[in-house]
Amino acid sequence: MRMPELFGRGEPVFSFEFFLPKTPEDAALLKQTVSDLKRLRPDFVTLTYGAGGSARERTVEMAGILRNELELPTAAHLTCITHSHEEIARLLAQIRSQGIDAIVALRGDLPKDAPVLPLRQRDFKYAADLVRFIRRQDGFSIAVAGYPEKHPECPSPEEDLRHLKEKVEAGADWVITQLFFDNQSYFDFVARARAAGIQVPIVPGIMPVTSFTQLQKFTLMCGASLPPAMVAELDPIQDDKEAVVRYGIEYAARQCRELIEKGAPGIHFYTLNKSRSTATILSRLRAS
């Protein structure tokens, strides 16, 4: 069953996101994490993209391991901000050679340590350009990113929604949202998207908290907000690692339960390459 078809089954679709490991030790740890989570039978997994140098090749190699060695349906992330048409075509061919037919199409972040061409000179200016390019290839299904609290570079939620609609009209099959911690942000985002004519599945992205410091860093980077009550509850326990992990599990479990009960088509877990929190939450959801 191709990934977009999963959303027509009438039951929640659960997926896990892993990030590309940087060292052989990290790669071994990721394989162990994936093995631990495989028993939960995720509908599919995704792997983030390493844009620079050898990271491109390692992305394809690791995605192939997830797909072929660990036997998990896999979607490969692909960013385009630093790539030419020829490079993306070559990467798509390499991804296809691994038996992978699903792409998470992203513009990608501006590189911090490498030059990038001016906007008018890039082959791919926006993620929608990448979606159009992939759609012209045969056989790929495509996910794109959505931002309940808007992309941090976008001047307004209205303009951000226009960009999302353009990606969908270019050929995206489903949307995975940026992380958020107030479910109302997701429900409002979906309502605005539907009013704008976006009808593809919009899957909430959930990140269980495992570190208060890391949480603050991530939310600052991606433009997500932290509910004041959450900050007040985490602040006094932030130095107790086990207490923070337990809190993160309970908070995310409540989020996921409400999202599913109110119609979300599934949950996309940002695992941070760890298994405990995601495994506990998903086991609870399936038992309820």
Q: How do residues 94-131 score in pLDDT, each as one tens digit?
A: 999 999 999 999 998 877 766 677 777 889 999 999 99
Single-letter amino acid code for the residue at 119: L
**Residue % of the chain over a pLDDT of 70:** 98
Lowest mean pLDDT among 33-37, 53-57, 165-169, 263-267: 53-57
Per the annotation, the verdict on 153 as an active-site residue is no
Q: At the topology level of CATH, where does 13-287 sit?
A: TIM Barrel (3.20.20)
220 CB-contact burial (10 Å; exposed 0-12 / middle 13-18 / buried 19+): exposed
3-class DSSP state for residue 13?
strand
- The whole-number average pLDDT for the span 175-191 is 98
135 CB-contact burial (10 Å; exposed 0-12 / middle 13-18 / buried 19+): middle
Give the active site residue among 5, 11, 17, 258: 17
Cα distance between residue 193 and residue 134, in whole Å: 23
